[in-house]
Structure 1
Amino acid sequence: MSLKIFTRSIGAVAMACWSSASTPATGLNVPVAARVISFIQPTPQGILPVAIVYQPGNATSEAEAVTIERALATTTQVGRARLKTRRVTTSNLAALDGAKAAFVTSSLRPHHDDVAQAATSRSILTITSDTTCVMAERCVVGITSADRTQIIVSRAAARRNGIRFGSAFLMLVKEI
């Protein structure tokens, strides 16, 4: 990646971290979450399968899955990768096969262990707005949007899932 593109990418994440005006206080800041994927090392290229993990019958989870899916429909290009999304239910986590990243809806606390196990065995980057998943080392990245957007990375979950980020990205986030 050229220095110019890299600098623009870091700037985009930094600006997204300082501004949350476009995202409500609840739910996942999808543009920032999608941009995080571009900082995986080695840099993803081509078509990148991503999953949206949700629980059928859980109205909050289903609504968030729809919101994420709609937002990703307008954010298909991330760096050199083009995102190809699909929904995966908590009852069929084997459907995560082939995914490189998974957006985990909030309100799935009873399923964090199952999601973490499925993601770890497939080396999947997990991204959520539920920071308890990150604090419990079950999800790799948490993105909060209360007063300002903050990105939290679980070192333990990233290591366990085989996910590496560039050092410049790690300087912009909170690692736990």
Structure 2
Amino acid sequence: MMSIRAMFKGRPVGVALALPLCCLFQAAGAGGLPPPSRQDLQILGRILSFREAQGSGAAPIAIVYNPTDAQSLGEAQAFAELMGSGVAVGNLILRPLLIEQGRLGGASGYAAILTAAAVDTGIVRAAVRQHQIPCITRQIEQVAHGACTVGFRSNPSISIAYSSANAAAAGIRFATAFIMMVREV
């Protein structure tokens, strides 16, 4: 068996570092994202505070996951653990409820749907439009595919993507100030 040293002998240091870094990024989390963080919860709460007609107080968050995908379940559980029994963000208290994607059709009474990796965008899109619940995700492609209204990333820097078409189709409105600050997808 060839040693690591022998495998990279005579090659630039960058090549020797590429393999371990590649593996590190693969293990980072769902879709190459780092695990959910407290900063993600702050961003989620701030996004919701810009929704027109958003009240204050308890804000139940349906954390939707694909039960057949380990990354999806892991991301959903990590978000739920971070929220605990409720986490205050601005004038909202985010309260998590883990929901399997197949049970999302009966969703109502939620302040938002937060999707994990690998969820069925068709199921999410139908629930969002039927119940007029904003869908927020770290999976930006779910916004591009018409399922979610807002997507965000907190690492390496904060970026927020918004689809006015998805919002209009679901009957969801955000404040003009929010729309001016985000990137349209």
TM-score, L = length of structure 1: 0.77
Kept in 2, the 8 Å contact 1:88–1:95? The answer is no
Correspondence for 2:34:
26
Kept in 1, the 8 Å contact 2:59–2:95? The answer is yes
Correspondence for 2:90:
79
Shift of the 43–79 alpha-carbon distance from structure 1 to 2, 3 Å rule, reads farther
Q: What percentage of residue pairs aligned between the two structures are identical? A: 28
The residue correspondences of 1:103-142 to structure 2 (distance < 5 A) are 103-108=114-119, 111-142=120-151
Find the residue that maps to 2:43 and give its secondary structure: helix
Q: Which has the higher contact order (CA 8 A, sep 6+)?
A: 1
Correspondence for 2:152:
143
Find the residue that maps to 1:70 and give its secondary structure: helix
Kept in 2, the 8 Å contact 1:134–1:154? The answer is yes
Correspondence for 1:19:
none
Kept in 2, the 8 Å contact 1:141–1:154? The answer is yes
**Once the 2 structures are TM-superposed, how far is the Cα of residue 81 of structure 1 from its aligned partner?**
2.5
Counterpart AA for 1:76 = V
More strand by share: 1
Which of 34, 48, 54 aligns to 2:59? It is 48
Correspondence for 1:15:
none
Counterpart AA for 1:144 = R
Matched, 1:60 2:71: yes
Kept in 2, the 8 Å contact 1:127–1:141? The answer is yes
Kept in 2, the 8 Å contact 1:52–1:105? The answer is yes
Correspondence for 1:10:
none
Shift of the 74–85 alpha-carbon distance from structure 1 to 2, 3 Å rule, reads closer
TM-score, L = length of structure 2: 0.74
Deviations 1:81-134 (A, max 9, x none): 3222211101111342221201100122xx101111011100111011111111
Greater displacement, 122-131 / 163-172: 163-172
Shift of the 30–83 alpha-carbon distance from structure 1 to 2, 3 Å rule, reads closer
Partners in 1 of 2:99 and 2:173 — Cα distance?
24
**Once the 2 structures are TM-superposed, how far is the Cα of residue 79 of structure 1 from its aligned partner?**
2.9
Kept in 1, the 8 Å contact 2:85–2:95? The answer is no
Partners in 1 of 2:33 and 2:100 — Cα distance?
25
Partners in 1 of 2:132 and 2:159 — Cα distance?
24
